[in-house]
Amino acid sequence: MIRLILASASPARLAVLRSAGIEPIVRVSDVDEDAVARALGPAAAPETVVTELARAKARAVLDRLNAESGPLGADHVIVGCDSMLFIHQTLQGKPPTTAAARERWQSMAGSSGQLLTGHCVLRPDGAGTHADAAACSTTTVHFGSPSAAELDAYLASGEPLQVAGAFTLDGLGGWFVDRIEGDPSSVIGIGLPLMRSLLARVGVGVADLWTGR
């Protein structure tokens, strides 16, 4: 069995992988996301931003593990992800404050945006190098219009502050999503169809990752 190392603290990504038969090793990258985005510059396409953030997270974890215990072998793959909402020509991550989340929802309500999730898969070879496959999944999200009382309650829950775009599909925020066009697992945080394709590019089949196989 090949072990998957998830370079993310996201409980939603962990839940998606577990539901799909994988018990990952979790290692948080601690990448400075703002610094990575600044280095890309303001002209970088939104898809490039999330994909490069995902790559930076995966590489940071791989470098740390290589430094701690020597070069990892091909019996591991490292996966990094990053999600942001592109709406009204603005790329949005997690809102910094409750007031910011309120402003976002007042703008998002009744509108549509694209939830972009960058994915990067690294497969080490035991000699200090690795195969690299990365891409972005794009899903259109059509938002409903919560009432004032519903929005107050949602903001009070704290959930919008913990997630990209200030909403979830699989939590309380799902009440305020009218529909999506695309991959629901990608909106939650890690797209299984895209992951399957990226894993294949580095020579790994999904069944190789299933727990107990």
Confirm whether 132 is a catalytic residue.
no
Long-range Cβ contacts of 95-104 (<8 Å, 24+ apart): 95/160, 95/161, 95/166, 96/161, 97/161, 98/155, 98/160, 98/161, 101/155, 101/160, 101/161, 101/166, 102/151, 102/155, 104/160, 104/165, 104/166
166 vs 172: CA distance, rounded Å: 11
Query: Distances from the Cα of 211 to the Cαs of 2, 23, 77, 155, 207, in angstroms?
Result: 9, 6, 14, 37, 9
34, 63, 82, 125: the catalytic one is 82
- CB neighbour list of residue 31: distance below 8 Å, 6 or more residues apart: 53, 56, 57, 60
Q: What are the catalytic residues?
A: 82
